[in-house]
Amino acid sequence: MARKRDTKTEQKSLDHDFISTAAETLTHRAEAAPDHGSSIFQLIICVAGIYISFLTWALLQERITTTPYGADRKIFRAPLVINTVQSTFASIIGYIYFRYSSSPSSSGGASARVFPGFNITSKLLLVAITQTLASPFGYASLKHIDYITYILAKSCKLLPVMFLHVTLFQRRYPLYKYMVVLAVTCGVAVFTLYPAHPKARKASKGGVSDEEKNVVWGMVLLGLNLLFDGLTNTIQDDIFQRSPKGLVSGPQMMAALNTLSSVLTAGWLLVNPWSTELVDALAFIKAHPKVGMDIIGFAVCGSLGQVFIFHTLAKFGSLVLVTVTVTRKMLSMVFSVVAFGHSLSHMQKLGVGMVFSGIGAEAMMKRHQEKAKKEANARKLEEANRHAKVQ
């Protein structure tokens, strides 16, 4: 599928874990031209696929990482095992999708090999490493903060990317992007500082309670996760800016990156002498088979969701995808509140509104910019045709 590289750093709120980062970054940097011949039926299938896949994915992620299993009420604590399973499923499904999309009629010039060459593969390996490092921090933060806070903080990938580009590369952004980051940051801060049950966070002697300390530590861990996300996005940015046009396709990125990630995480689990995570995880799954089924379901939903993302991008363009994914994330929060009994204070609802207002404003600005660009291109084409007729 032909794609043109967009060198601007733009945020699209998709997903917030190890397996989704590649798709999320790719979709707003390797933007496809929409296929206007695509049917409404195809659009309905794509939208339904994204909603069903990722709403189920989010519910399973929260269940696996935050809820106890069995009579002993233990919580599954093996993030690398989760990552290995989901990246393995994604690499298999991604490979099938890549082979289908790289047929002569649909490849658009992309390489027929999963790994297009040493230079790009080495960069993909670096991306896999940063993703592998990011995920444990994200899962560890869930021990200290609730899942909705996690979703909110992960909603704006623009934040860590802008931070790295401004501090390391002295890059400047339009004013509205700074306003988006400010709105999201303030929204997350309001949500965190005004919990639904404030009495539980009072210190016994006027100091800082243990729970407050835990929340701060959870936000630190989440901040490290976001920092690695920013590094991941920056490296992927470089891949698409420096690679010849059409050399790396979305399905190819999905297959290659998840294969490398699977090798890294599986290798670490098998050879690391200081960790018993794999043994402990297998024992936990043996004692509580339901968690094993949840992990498999989680991996399958995430993998299929990526396929629907890439297909939607190729057939209908990024503007449709932005709308679908922003509304999907809002629905994920609603489902989380209903399914797991979360309660939100009025200030927390305000914080949620600030976050999604910022994300929605950026989506609207992008739509306006894309419309202006198309109109400008149409005017240039019309002008060129007029000159050609005169000559």
Q: What angle do CA 281, 283, 288 make, to 5 degrees?
A: 90
Q: How far apart are CA 295 and CA 303, in angstroms?
A: 12
User: Which of 254-258, 265-269, 371-375 is the least confident region?
Assistant: 371-375
Is the pLDDT confidence value at 138 over 80? Answer: yes
Helices (H), the chain: 21-27, 40-66, 79-101, 118-141, 147-153, 158-169, 175-193, 210-242, 250-271, 277-287, 289-316, 318-340, 346-390
Which residue type occupies 182? L
pLDDT in tens, 156-170: 667 777 777 777 777
Lowest mean pLDDT of 10-14, 32-36, 268-272, 385-389, name the range. Answer: 10-14
Residue 323 vs residues 44, 253, 331, 373: alpha-carbon distances, Å:
13, 23, 12, 19
pLDDT of 264: 93
Residue 18 has a pLDDT of 42
Which residue type, as a one-letter code, is found at position 265? Answer: T
pLDDT classification of 110: cutoffs 50, 70, 90: low
Mean pLDDT on 238-254 = 73
Q: What is the DSSP letter of 30?
A: E
Q: What is the DSSP string of 317-376?
A: -HHHHHHHHHHHHHHHHHHHHHHHT----HHHHHHHHHHHHHHHHHHHHHHHHHHHHHHH
In 3D, which of 38, 36, 26, 59 has the Cα closest to residue 328? 59
Mean pLDDT of 278-303: 95
Q: Give φ, ψ of 343 to 5 degrees.
A: -120, 140
In percent, how much of the chain has pLDDT > 90?
A: 21
Percent of the chain with pLDDT over 70: 79
Task: Assign 294 a pLDDT band (cuts: 50, 70, 90).
Answer: very high
The two tokens of residue 200 are 């539980």
Give residue 210's pLDDT band: very low, low, confident or very high (50, 70, 90).
low
Specify the DSSP class assigned to residue 157. Answer: T
Task: State which amino acid sits at residue 327.
Answer: T
- Residue 338 to residue 333: CA distance in whole angstroms: 9
The pLDDT of residue 261 is above 60 = yes
Whose CA is closest to 285, among 274, 296, 275?
296
Averaged pLDDT for residues 50-56? 92
Please tell me the predicted confidence (pLDDT) of residue 386.
77
pLDDT of residue 99: 87
**Residue 44 CB burial class (10 angstroms; 0-12, 13-18, ≥19):** exposed
pLDDT at 121 over 80: yes
Give me the pLDDT at residue 299, please: 95
Q: Tell me: pLDDT of 212 over 50.
A: yes
Query: How much is the pLDDT for 277?
Result: 92
Buried b / exposed e along 162-194 (16+ C-beta atoms within 10 A) = bebbeeeeeeebeeebeebbebbbebbebbbeb
Query: Which range, 1-15, 142-156, 277-291, 338-352, is most confident?
Result: 277-291
Question: pLDDT category, 198, cuts 50, 70, 90?
Answer: low
Over residues 186-207, the mean pLDDT reads 64
Q: Which of 52-61, 85-94, 314-323 has the lowest mean pLDDT?
A: 314-323
pTM value > 0.75: no
Q: What is the pLDDT of residues 310-327, one digit of tens each?
A: 888 777 766 677 678 777
Q: How far apart are CA 93 and CA 309, in angstroms?
A: 13
Closest CA to 252 of 133, 129, 108: 108
The number of beta carbons lying within 10 Å of the beta carbon of residue 96 is 14
Task: At 78, give phi and psi (nearest 5°).
Answer: -150, 75
Q: What is the pLDDT of residues 298-308, one digit of tens each?
A: 999 999 998 99
